[in-house]
Amino acid sequence: MKLTIINGPNLNLLGSRETDIYGNQDFDTFLNSLRSKYPNINLEYYQSNIEGELINYIQDSMDSDGIIINAAAYTHTSVGIGDAIKAINTKVIEVHISNTFSREKYRHSSYLSPVVDGIIIGFGLKSYELAIESFCSRDE
């Protein structure tokens, strides 16, 4: 199985960015631990701070069995990322590290949530692992 993790803006700074909210672990270290835990899953990873690059990558991920996306701030602003997800047939899970609903009001809305297959919010980096598990236990 091939799963694609896509991270949006500022998530390249995980481990040093607002550690009270996002924790102390950088994403590369976390990704290595995921790859060790799931040796039979081909885990692709892409991060960009640029909206159009994220849209290109979503379009290029149609061959994946599933996409796990944290669009970060673009979650709350990007019609284009929502449309890209709508345009592909691949299953998509939206994840967030923090509980966006317990934070500022502008983080309560998502252009992705209406068009994804599932949402996992607020479990720290574990949100990504729960998303992987959801693909592992999927029937179809």
What is the 3-class SS of the chain, one letter each residue? CEEEEEECCCHHHCCCCCHHHHCCCCHHHHHHHHHHHCCCCEEEEEECCCHHHHHHHHHCCCCCCEEEEECHHHHHCCHHHHHHHHHCCCCEEEEECCCHHHCCHHHCCCCCHHHCCEEEECCCCHHHHHHHHHHHCCCC
- Minimum CB separation from ligand DQA for residue 140, in Å? 27
- Minimum CB separation from ligand DQA for residue 127, in Å? 7
Q: Is 108 a catalytic residue?
A: no
Of 48 and 70, nearer to ligand DQA (C-beta) is: 70
Q: Is 38 a catalytic residue?
A: no
The answer to whether 77 and 51 have CB atoms below 8 angstroms apart is no
Of 1 and 122, nearer to ligand DQA (C-beta) is: 122
- Minimum CB separation from ligand DQA for residue 93, in Å? 13
57, 96, 111, 128: which is the annotated catalytic residue? 96
* Residues binding ligand DQA (CB under 6 A): 10, 70, 72-73, 75, 96-98, 100, 107
Which residues pair with residue 67 across a beta bridge?
Answer: 4, 92
Of 14 and 43, nearer to ligand DQA (C-beta) is: 14
Catalytic residues: 22, 96
